[in-house]
Amino acid sequence: MSKWVKRGLSVLLVLIMSGALAPLSELSALEINIPAFPKLSLSSVSIQMPKLSLPDISLRLPKLSQSDVTIRLPKLPQWLSFESFSVQAAAADGQYTSGDYEYSVSGGIATITKYNGAGGNVVIPNSLDGYSVRAIGDRAFFGCSGLTSINMGSAVTSIGQAAFYRTGLLSITIPEGITHIGDFAFNECPKLTSIQYNAINLEEEYNVYNRLFDSAGKEGEGVAVIIGDTVQSIPTGLFDCSSYPPNIKSVLIGRNVKTIGKNAFYNCNQLTNISIPESVASIGANAFYNCIRLTNIQYNAVNATGGSFFNGAGTSGEGVTVVIGDSVASIPAEFLYRAKIKQFTYGRNVNSIGNSAFYQSTGLTEITIPDSVTNIGSSAFGSLNVTSITIGKGAVTVGRDAFSNCKELTSINYNAVHMMELYNPGYNPAYDYIFTNAGNDGNGISVVFGEAVERIPSYLLYNTKTKFVVIGNNVKSIGESAFRNCSVLSSVTIGTSLTNAGVSAFSGCIELTSVLFNAAKFADSTGSLFVAAGKSDPGFTVVFGETVERIPAYLFYNTNIKTATIGQSVKSIGNFAFSSCAGLTNISLGRAL
């Protein structure tokens, strides 16, 4: 019965019985008249009597059309009574014409197969000759250059292949009920300026071969895409523009969208503005890949999963300005991978930066990581052309190669209070430290440790091109090999609060020329912090500040120290403090010794 179409032919019939049961010979006949319906071809009629205990009566009729039908039922016993019955007719499939439309009927549902009108602002009717219009067929409006806008109504669920190919559409509204859009549906609509997308159940996944909007909007100033507030998901590849990109200039995503599928706006290379709302929880890989003309990104997604969102963004032009909203806690992995960034603004609640979030991006000359950030992922800022990096107070965990290959780096301002140790069992510093090859193309890096810093982690700047180091007055300890093999390090200033340093903290700094040592209570050790330091001629000089009262044991053991100036407050010198310093030629002693 699923293919039966109710034609509204209900007939109310009330038979009132009186008296005793009539003899079986007293029977009555019943005649039913069915009026003619345009375009209706009757193949059968079923008469249903819901109050009877007898089976329904079904009559098979020869095909009839454009004429009334009279049905005479067999005689029924008069003692039977019922309240109503309905007559339903099955429509035969066929091809029809109504006004500007040619349409087909299948199972009582109409599909528009061709539009013959002049165009303009077209409203798709909800029904044609009584048949509900549910689909716009393949090539239905193909080549209709006079068509400027289309309103599909609430009943349409399907748009066929090339349905609006090469039309003069200026605007498109895709209604909520659409569940299918065929390949090439809106290709080469050169005058298109706006797309209002409201579909809530479009289940398909699209790719480069589907090409729904190829070359759309090429003759105008660009297409504005608005994703309605009823939409929760933007399908995979919906606006994928790999082959012949449409001229999409801006995208406004509705406040209830939760998912943006992978490649959703792939290669939309004319897109200039995008705003991601707080509601978005998942963004597929390469959703905005190669949107090379992006100039503005407003990102508000609270905790979106996924990665590689804006790969290559803004690379044509001055770069993209990115604003991270205050609702955002995490910047996802590969967020601006290989993008060109003009300006980047963190929201005040960002606490995590994902792996490779800014990897190989260009445009930025300075990086300032806010105090709110506690986690910096592996290669997060790898291979950038920056000259300056400021690490905020909150940084705790830092992934491998977080700042590696920033070869033009000249300045590090380090303020992390509780950064983790970079040394672990099995750790291989040749591969795992965080500033690999930093500053290699410049004249060296100046590193300043802020007043909030109390400990410098092990291996922090191991084997980097660090040239100048200033250790703040609140630093109490330096981890093992923190500056080891910094081959161009020439100057070190040690603050007043340092009490201990790990093995080989400054070993192998062969170009060292100057140490200003102000630590007042530095503990004795059994090995030098400066093994092989200053090996290159002419060696290095050491000055002990006025806060120093004792020079610790082994402090400069077996180093290429050339001259030492001992401050007026120094009262004692520990064992072997300057032992095996074959190059030491000049010592100036203070009056307190």
**More confident: 169 or 3:** 169
Closest by CA position to 296, among listed 256, 341, 333, 327: 341
Q: Does residue 174 form part of some domain? A: yes
Q: Work out the burial of residue 53: count CB atoms within 10 Å of its CB; fewer than 13 is exposed, 13-18 middle, 19 or more buried.
A: exposed
The string of pLDDT tens digits covering residues 189-202 is: 999 999 999 999 88
246/99 same-domain check: yes
Write out pLDDT tens, residues 112-162: 999 999 999 999 999 999 899 999 999 999 999 999 999 997 899 999 999
Same domain, 49 and 106: no
Q: Which residues contact 76 (CB under 8 A, 6 or more apart)?
A: 27, 28, 29, 30
Residue 21 — very low, low, confident or very high, per pLDDT cuts 50/70/90? very low
Note whether 110 and 165 are same-domain residues. yes
Q: Which H or E run contains 131?
A: strand 131-136
Give the pair of three-digit tokens for residue 358: 């800014």
Given this model, what pLDDT does residue 77 score? Answer: 52
If asked whether residues 107 and 43 sit together in one domain, one would say no
Residue 203 counted as domain residue:
yes
Q: Could you tell me how many helices (H) and strands (E) the chain has, helices first? A: 1, 46
What's the pLDDT at 303?
81
| Residues 271, 224: Cα–Cα separation, whole Å | 9
Q: For the chain, what is the radius of gyration of the CA atoms?
A: 40
The domain in which residue 210 lies consists of 94-252
Domain final residue pick, 68, 92, 116: 92
pLDDT value, residue 421: 82
Residue 68 and residue 117 share a domain: no
* Cα separation, 342 vs 438, whole angstroms: 22
Q: Using 50, 70 and 90 to split pLDDT, how confident is the model at 423?
A: low
Within this chain, do residues 46 and 118 fall inside the same structural domain, yes or no?
A: no
- Measure the CA angle with vertex 511, ends 508 and 514; round to 5°: 105
- Give the pLDDT mean for 580-593: 87
Residue 209: the pLDDT is: 67
**Could you say which of 198, 224, 252 is where a domain stops?**
252
Q: 129 and 62 share a domain?
A: no
Residue 149 CB coordination number (10 Å): 16
Contact predicate 257/227, CB 8 Å? yes
Q: Where are the alpha helices (DSSP H) in 327-394?
A: none
Of 19-33, 454-468, 573-587, the one with minimum mean pLDDT is 19-33
Nearest alpha carbon to residue 269 among 291, 243, 237: 291
Dihedral sign, Cα of residue 403, residue 405, residue 406, residue 409: positive
Looking at the structure, tell me whether residues 42 and 54 fall in a common domain: yes
CA distance 420 to 413: 17
> Binning pLDDT at 50, 70 and 90, where does residue 28 land?
very low
Burial of 299 (0-12, 13-18, 19+ CB in 10 A): buried
Q: Hey, is 111 helix, strand or coil? A: strand
At residue 377 the predicted structure's pLDDT band, cuts being 50, 70 and 90, is very high
153 and 220 belong to one structural domain: yes
| Residues contacting residue 56 through CB under 8 Å, at least 6 positions apart | 46, 47, 48, 49
- Predicted pLDDT of residue 424: 53
Contacts of 234 (CB under 8 A, 6+ apart): 197, 227, 253, 257, 259, 260, 261, 264
Same domain, 75 and 104: no
Residue at which a domain ends, from 252, 277, 295? 252
Between 245-259, 360-374, 422-436, the lowest mean confidence (pLDDT) is in 422-436
Q: What is the pLDDT of residues 271-298, one digit of tens each?
A: 999 999 999 999 999 999 999 999 999 9
pLDDT over 50 (residue 1): no
> Does the residue 506 lie in any domain?
no
Does 276 reside within a domain? no
For 35-51, write each residue's pLDDT tens digit: 444 454 444 444 444 44
Backbone angles phi, psi at 43, to 5 degrees: -110, -25
pTM of the model: 0.80
Is residue 98 domain-resident?
yes
pLDDT higher than threshold 60 for residue 256: yes
Phi, psi (rounded to 5 degrees) for 252: -115, 115
**Mean pLDDT across 152-177:** 94
Provide the token pair at 75: 């005689």
Confidence of residue 26 (pLDDT cuts 50, 70, 90): very low
1 Cβ neighbours under 8 A, 6+ residues apart: none
**Distance of alpha carbon 135 from alpha carbon 175, whole angstroms:** 12
Please check whether residues 102 and 241 belong to one and the same domain.
Answer: yes
Q: Are residues 159 and 247 in the same domain?
A: yes
Tell me if 96 sits within 8 A of 105, measured CB to CB.
Answer: yes
Is the confidence at residue 470, as pLDDT, over 90? yes
Say if 263 falls within a structural domain. Answer: no
Q: CATH no. for residue 15?
A: 2.60.40
Residue 128 lies in a domain: yes
| pLDDT tens-place string over residues 521-570 | 999 887 788 888 888 878 899 999 999 999 999 999 889 999 999 989 99
- Give the residue with greater pLDDT, 216 vs 324: 324
Any domain includes 449:
no
Q: Looking at residue 141, which CATH number applies to its domain?
A: 3.80.10.10
How many domains would you assign to the chain?
2
